[in-house]
Chains A and B, each alone.
Chain A
Amino acid sequence: MVALLKTPADWPAILLGRAGAADPTDLDVAVRAGAFDGLRRATRDLGPTGTIATIAGSGLRGRGGSGYPTAQKWRVAATTEAPRRYVVANGYGADPAAGSDRFLMETDPFSVVEGVAIAAFAIGASEAIIAVRSEASETIRRLEAAIAAAEEAGFLGFDALGSGHDIGVSVRGVQGAYMLGEETVLLKALEGKRGQPEQRPPHPAERGLYGMPTVVNNVQTLAAVPWIVRQGGPAFATTGRPGAAGTILVQLRTPAGIGIAEVPLGTPLRQVVELGGDLPKGRSIKAILVGGPSGGLLPAELLDTPYDFESLRAVGAHIGSGSMVVADDRACVVDLARLLTRFCSSEACGKTIPCRIGTRRLVEIADRVAEGRPRPTDPGLIADLSADIVASALCDHERLTTFPLGTAMRYFRSELDEHLLRSACPAGVCHPIALAAAAIP
């Protein structure tokens, strides 16, 4: 597991408040620390509508990247007429270089299980599924141990806590595609189908798993729910910043090292980057990749941007997988953007043409720029193609695939121009470009 970074003492600890227990699956220790108080309060005092109202008052938004208000999703699922409803906790963690969801489920499985149970109670679902990577056998083991202990103690299962509701929670391992992080794709995988996204609306909250109303939330969203129900919505709303309440797990990677930190939303990027410690001597920050493989490459001048949903979107990045990677001056931005675009493109499911062909063309353009045989029209092509992909996209994956190249063009134009006009790579990374430049008399 990745190390937990030390954060300032005045930052709230909502998700990782119980981190550091000797055995995270020990129910007694967790209950003494407050686990399942939230579920008790929800079932005894608040009731389903009261629970949703509390979440609405807290201003909790989806941690999966989109930032959709959680309470609204729950309300739609709760009010749609249906014989059954489902809760799906998305703990897939698609970004191969980020492990914050997994870290959360391993350090405090009870907070996720309790959050799932509260969600199931609030929308009237009797079945809840926590979807995890099959490769993460330790995560699955801990979650299953936590669920078994909670069922034994009567928090889950038939007539949970004497509320009259049945809450069955199970863990499902899924694997085999990057796209499984997308909610409709995850539902398809759980149904045993080919993992391709669906047209929305109808949203999964109206028609999701097996055609039934389904609440799909990231595990970090659900792990914040018990805290909110316990402490009340207004207490949560005061953390973070207005419009983006609460905290989020960030996996930070700098040349100095790597670690996970719980960061209040709205913290300037500079403060987050400083958690990782000083850069090695003689190195300077060149670019920060915010949001995983489809994230934006931000220059050092934008380090004062607050880390929240709208501010990041405005500068061309997104929260995404909650990963933040600091690239120092050894990296070439064009090379990095090309690598990220290629990964997103080859992981595309192929359902829509802009994604299947458009992103591949983006990769080809980036390839020829990096290989020292650019065409003068290439920047225009990238811009046009990206605009077309964004305009005709089916799911967020293809929209976001344009981000690395788009931000590279926007903020690192001089470095791109070196590649385009002089066929030279200032960082000396792009491999065949030197040969191509030498061939020019």
Chain B
Amino acid sequence: MSLIPGLGIVSGMALTLRRFFEPKVTIKYPEVRLDPPHKFRGRLQLLYDEWGTLKCETCFQCAQACPIECIDMGGMDTRGRYHVHWGAPETYGERREESALRRSGRTVPDPAYQPFASIDLTAVDAVLDDFDRDPAHMLEILEATQATYGYLPVAALKRISNLTGAWYAMIYGTASYYRHLRFEPSSATSQAAAVEAQRPAETTYLAAFDTALGGAASATGGGRRTSKPRAQA
């Protein structure tokens, strides 16, 4: 409360009156641009690097970190390796895309938009019971699941998330980090090739190391010998 009653409303009305007679301004975008607020981040968008490949590795770390959980992903991952899902079912990106396509009367063209296959989950439940459904044993749970199915099916990961209470993104982050865990059956070579391109196996390094040393005695026994063509100086 100010000392003089009614001073607040008078100064407020003075501002109104001043603005009423001020000239109106239209910002002529895009010639003139206002500075956006400094915390404004705009629309979520995946960036490309200078060779035109997506920078996103589909690691879900952004979805994990997002405090209001506004990031969701679905479909084939950006490296073309495997199906990824994150978020509540009704907000799956690909379902929204799919329904938008259907509503516009077009067919759904991309095989990535097929939902993940449902599988028999009793084996996952048995694995989870072995580890008391404790997310602290996540790596062992994932390894046991892979030993059962031969790979980590998306449906199994969702089941693990459901029963342990761990976030799907956390489980996915763990599963996509370790080289021995895979999301496709071992017969599917696409993932193995993509991983090898990103993160070559230790045997590849050892073979290259042997070659770089001039084909010296194989150091570890694990390394396989390759004979790379050499240029003659």
Contacts and interface: CB of A to CB of B under 8 A. Distances in A.
Interface stretch (B32-40, B94-102, B104-112, B200-208): B200-208
B21 interface: no
Interface in A291-350: 293, 325, 327-328, 330-332, 335-336, 339, 343, 346-347, 349-350
Interface in A1-41: 2
Interface string B191-221: 0000000111010011011001111110110
B29 interface: no
B205 A96 contact: yes
Interface in B69-95: none
A134 B180 CA distance: 11
A427 B233 contact: yes
A208 to B, nearest CB: 14
Contacts of A200: none
Contact of A175 (B138, B180, B200): B180
A267 to B, nearest CB: 21
Contact of B180 (A176, A195, A330, A331): A176
Contacts, number: 122
A241 to B, nearest CB: 28
Q: Could you say which of B140, B198, B199, B228 has the most chain A C-beta atoms within 10 Å of its C-beta? A: B199
Q: Could you say which of A96, A174, A347, A430 has the most chain B C-beta atoms within 10 Å of its C-beta? A: A96
A431 B200 CA distance: 20
A98 B217 CA distance: 14
B138 A193 contact: yes
A193 B170 contact: yes
A106 to B, nearest CB: 14
Contacts of B176: 194
Contacts of A190: 139
A427 B92 CA distance: 56
Instruction: Tell me what chain A mostly uses at the interface: helix, strand, loop, or mixed.
Output: loop
Nearest to B141: A192
Nearest to A97: B219
Contacts of A336: 212-213
Interface of B: 57, 59, 135-142, 170, 173-174, 176-181, 198-200, 202, 205-206, 208-209, 212-217, 219-220, 222-223, 228-233
19 contacts: A96-B206, A97-B209, A97-B223, A175-B180, A177-B179, A189-B178, A191-B136, A192-B137, A194-B170, A194-B174, A253-B217, A256-B217, A258-B219, A325-B213, A424-B233, A426-B233, A428-B233, A429-B214, A434-B231
Given A99-B220, A191-B136, A425-B231, 16 more contacts: A97-B223, A175-B179, A176-B180, A192-B135, A192-B139, A194-B176, A196-B177, A255-B217, A257-B217, A330-B214, A339-B205, A339-B208, A347-B199, A425-B233, A429-B231, A433-B231
